[in-house]
Chain A
Amino acid sequence: MVLSSLLAPTLLGALAVAADSAAVRGGTVVNPDGTRIEKGVVVIQDGRISAVGGPDTPIPGDAVVHEAEGRVVFPALVLAHTQIGLDITNENVPVAPFVNVYDAIEPNSAEYEDCLRTGIGTVHVIQGNNTVIGGLSRIIRPLGDMIDAMTVRADAGLKVSISPRSGFNRMTQLAELRRAFAELAAHVDAVAEKRFEEEKKKKDEKVLVLPDEAARQGLALVTIDDLDARWRTLWRVSKGEVPLFVHCDRAMDVMRGIDWLKEMKLLEKTTFVVGSEAFKAVEALKAAGRPLVLSGILVHRETDPVTGEIKETFVPKVFADAGVPFVLQPNGFGFSADGMLWYQAARCVREGVARDVAVKAITQSAADAIGMGGELGSLAAGKWGNVAILSGDPLDQATFVDRMLIEGRLAYERATDRRLKELTTGQESPPAAAAKTEAPAAPAEAPAPAPAGDAKPDESKPAGDGSGEQN
């Protein structure tokens, strides 16, 4: 009796996840902190990693097993800040917290395909930096053709820029930013007062209060639906419900950004997105202790106005030396050059950044920056089953992504990647390979054209027959 009642739920549980069990076996499991397990096993159940261990780790009998002998098994990379998939990256209105990348993401963008090809399993799509207050962002899987199915987390953040957008100077930028929040406060006050009066009317109370007091007392009654749609996102931001991605192009913007965020009590909700010159504010950023996304331009160049001498600074090294974790972005987005996250991390190692810091900058630190450090960024029990099976060492330029698992399911396979094959060989590889390969032989075997004098309509061939492709 006791035994059966214990067993039953266990068995049911096993059946329920049967379709979603997977395991990666036989490869070298490598984590961003440098730990390695030879011939390791990663078990994924119901999209989550249930076990990571040595060759003896038990694999559920119903799991889809991915053999990774001779391969490196690595957490899928996280692209923490990108505009890929958006055709236009900034709204023309300086303060536009009411827009949402949800309405603009093109699921069929070639860049998402490139994500899988280059080991990226999670993408945070957020609007560009040329704004005062931007729209809502979204974390997606770069897989699928419907945005809802691709979504990992909606409303993942909101872009705010401390650096002037085009046409603004720093003073107008800050003034605009403050005005937006002041207008929000005024709007919320008005709504609160109105709600207070409504409530009073409902209860048929006849107590007179001053408008300020009515607004204060009414605030508790305000729900998001009472607000004008334009202000709803910003209200959620002000209550700390939506994380901020605050762009500071230069070091001078970092100081002002931190001051403003402290004033708004939003510093704890902030990820900084900084330009290459912001390394000069390394101490302030360190003290702020918030996640930090670096520009894709890793080398900052400064020209001495008098001597013309150019001083170069490798930005990630400055942060690494100060012990500040950072996140790397690709420079642009491409398949063959520094548009690749791996390459950016390798550049850091080249310039003397410790390898684990460089690797975390494209995995764990990137996951932390989008608030998913507990779900993504390394291979550990409880985290999501986003696994890149690599042909070799993650930072070796000869390494390719062999397979990608997203939440335990096979999302990419190099062996069947037609586009990569075309880019590599320059040859088209049509699905119906057999039909095409025979085509070139046809002209050689075709009979010589009849002499002109003997010309007559060729009735043996149907019109427009596609010149021998049917042979």
Chain B
Amino acid sequence: MSAASIAVAALLALARTGSETAPAVAPDLAAWQGGELVALQAAEVHLGDGTVHRPGIVLLQDGKVVAAGQGLPLPAGGRVIDCGEAVITPGLVDAACQLGTTSLFGSAEQASEVIPHLDTADAIDFFSRDFIELAAGGVTTVYVTGEASAVISARGAAVKTAGPLAERRLAAKPCVKVTLGPESSGRGVFNRQPSRFGGGASFANRRPTTRMGAAWVFRKAFHDTIAWRDSGRPSNDGLEPAAMAALGEVLAGATALRMQVREAMDFDTTARLADEFGLKYSIEYGTEAAQRLDLLARRAVPVIFGPVRASDSNFESFESAAPALETPKLLAEKGIPFCLTASDGSGDGGLARQAGLAIRFGLDRARALRAVTVDAAAICGLDQRVGRLAPGLDADLVVWNGAPFDDASKPVLVLIHGRPVVDPQGRFRKENS
């Protein structure tokens, strides 16, 4: 028997009570080998599908969950980590993250309004501090969404927030993002040409400048794609064949379509455009979703809702759309598939806080957990990989020092691929960045 029992519990207790006593045994995280069988015990284990075990055990090996539940046999010769009174949940998943790329704001693609053939993955900085902040907040997987300054933007990319580089990128279902709101036109001013050419944004170098114009760019792109697909006619609007090929995938349903929508009227425009081309879509942000619940329910449109912020005005979007604070609860009641996003927020503005706010405004706790784990993974087509603690899924999990998403709790240990990336004092471990 060489089972090494590690008293993470002592540290968790320290974090919880603020007691001054030093832990008797420091957890030997450095010696944690990827290949060995590890068991985590805790007072509560949430599997992510709604099941809760009190107490519970999670068995991990080779970066995957081997088993999770109650009364599982502890590994002989493996490592047992007793998390004491702590609570274990799956790692959180943000389905519409805007962090991790190099300076999103003002880095819009200048060449075209229609860039579905480009890949956000090529702009992700895996060494960005954003990922450290996300991991420390318990977010283990993010879908980095396309930038909003193009009408039909790039495909997003799913990545882990920490771990060896080779394992960071995940294969999400390809998904193209469309922005009909004023970001695609309003952000044009940040997209101006060099001052020696006049500087400003105008119809000559940047369009559209209105919602109508954005909708037209969308229509024209799909019309051109259909003509190119059916008769090989090149786009008279300068669309590259690669872009039209990518849109052809959207028409065929092989690539998903995500519409960034904040204001109520854009929900309607989105529905009309989708009908014109027979497209299925999901909604990103959905700020005023509470005003279009019936539309969303009738069409079973998945909504990636959030973020809810202190201020009503939204600087980035130039929109004044304000969310009804109980939107998550209303979406749940209407049976609309949804998850929550913190967008560009981390730390106290991060995903756990969004879940906490959803709970404050009426969403039940179990559903709030799903909305930042399995349901978010499902919307990105990642639910066979992350979002639950189930055999064969990635061993991404968060140990909380109290009820998850409570204002007074925080993650004290975060595992990605079965390796600790945030230690029990909430410190990010350098070998992971």
Contacts and interface: CB of A to CB of B under 8 A. Distances in A.
Chain A complexes with chain B: yes
Interface string A82-115: 0000000000000000000000000000000000
Interface string B317-328: 000001111110
Interface in A350-373: 350-354
B18 A397 contact: no
A74 B129 CA distance: 41
Given A336-B308, A425-B326, 11 more contacts: A317-B18, A343-B407, A346-B407, A347-B348, A352-B15, A352-B17, A395-B408, A397-B356, A423-B325, A425-B324, A426-B327
Contacts of A395: 407-408
Interface in B218-247: none
A199 B184 CA distance: 78
Q: How large is the interface on A (under 10, 10 to 19, 20 to 34, 35 or more residues)?
A: 20 to 34
A221 interface: no
Given A350-B408, A424-B325, A336 B357 contact: yes
**Main SS of the interface on chain A?**
loop
Contacts of B288: 426
B359 A398 contact: yes
A427 interface: yes
A334 interface: yes
B325 A336 contact: yes
Contact of B407 (A299, A321, A397, A426): A397
B308 A350 contact: no
A347 B359 CA distance: 17
B406 interface: yes
A336 B309 contact: yes
B291 A426 contact: yes
24 contacts: A317-B18, A332-B310, A334-B310, A336-B308, A336-B357, A337-B309, A337-B349, A338-B348, A346-B408, A350-B408, A350-B409, A350-B410, A352-B14, A352-B16, A352-B17, A395-B408, A396-B406, A396-B407, A397-B357, A423-B322, A424-B324, A424-B361, A426-B290, A427-B290
**Main SS of the interface on chain B?**
loop
B326 A424 contact: yes
Nearest to A339: B310
A395 B409 CA distance: 11
B324 A397 contact: no
A162 B308 CA distance: 37
Interface in B353-408: 353, 356-357, 359-361, 401-402, 405-408
A185 interface: no
A299 B311 CA distance: 21
A395 B360 CA distance: 12
A320 B16 CA distance: 15
A168 interface: no
B407 A347 contact: yes
Contact of A350 (B20, B290, B407): B407
B203 to A, nearest CB: 36
Contacts of A339: 310
A337 B309 CA distance: 6
A282 interface: no
Interface of A: 299, 310, 317, 320-321, 332, 334-339, 342-343, 346-347, 349-354, 395-398, 423-427
B327 to A, nearest CB: 7
Nearest to B355: A397
Given A424-B361, A425-B290, A426-B290, A353 B18 contact: yes
Q: How large is the interface on B (under 10, 10 to 19, 20 to 34, 35 or more residues)?
A: 35 or more
Interface in B273-301: 288, 290-291
Contact of B408 (A317, A336, A349, A425): A349
Contacts of B14: 352
A349 B402 CA distance: 11
A115 to B, nearest CB: 15
Contacts of B408: 346-347, 349-350, 395
B314 to A, nearest CB: 14
A347 B290 CA distance: 30
A335 B310 contact: yes
A350 B326 CA distance: 25
Interface string B7-30: 000000011111010000000000
Given A350-B407, A397-B356, A338 B310 contact: yes
What 10 pairs across the A-B complex have the smallest Cβ distances? A426-B324, A334-B310, A346-B407, A352-B18, A337-B310, A426-B290, A349-B408, A346-B408, A397-B407, A397-B360
Nearest to B362: A424
Nearest to B359: A398
Nearest to A317: B18
B135 to A, nearest CB: 14
Contacts of B402: 350
B309 A427 contact: no
B294 to A, nearest CB: 13
Contacts of B410: 350-351
B344 to A, nearest CB: 14
A418 to B, nearest CB: 14
A310 B409 contact: no
Contacts of B309: 336-337
Contacts of A346: 406-408
Contact of B129 (A310, A321, A396): A310
Nearest to A353: B18
Interface string B404-418: 011111100000000
Contacts of B290: 425-427
Contacts of B405: 397
A336 B325 CA distance: 9
B87 to A, nearest CB: 14
A332 B291 CA distance: 29
Contacts of B325: 336, 423-424
B163 to A, nearest CB: 20
A342 B409 CA distance: 14
Given A310-B129, A352-B14, A397-B406, A426 B323 contact: yes
Contacts of A334: 310-311
A399 B80 CA distance: 37
Contacts of B359: 397-398
Contacts of B18: 317, 320, 351-354
B343 to A, nearest CB: 14
A163 to B, nearest CB: 25
A321 B19 CA distance: 10
A314 to B, nearest CB: 10
Contacts of B357: 336-337, 397
B194 to A, nearest CB: 31
A320 B14 CA distance: 15
Nearest to B15: A352
Nearest to B310: A334
Contacts of A423: 322, 324-325
A419 to B, nearest CB: 12
A426 B406 CA distance: 25
Contacts of A424: 324-326, 361
A396 B402 CA distance: 12
Contacts of A349: 408
Nearest to B365: A398
A425 B309 CA distance: 16
Nearest to A423: B325
A36 B322 CA distance: 39
Nearest to B129: A310
Given A336-B309, A343-B407, A346-B407, A398 B360 contact: yes
A60 B14 CA distance: 47
A352 B408 CA distance: 9
A2 B129 CA distance: 82
A354 B310 CA distance: 27
A310 to B, nearest CB: 7
B15 to A, nearest CB: 6
B332 to A, nearest CB: 15
Contacts of A299: 347
A321 B408 CA distance: 18
Nearest to A303: B129
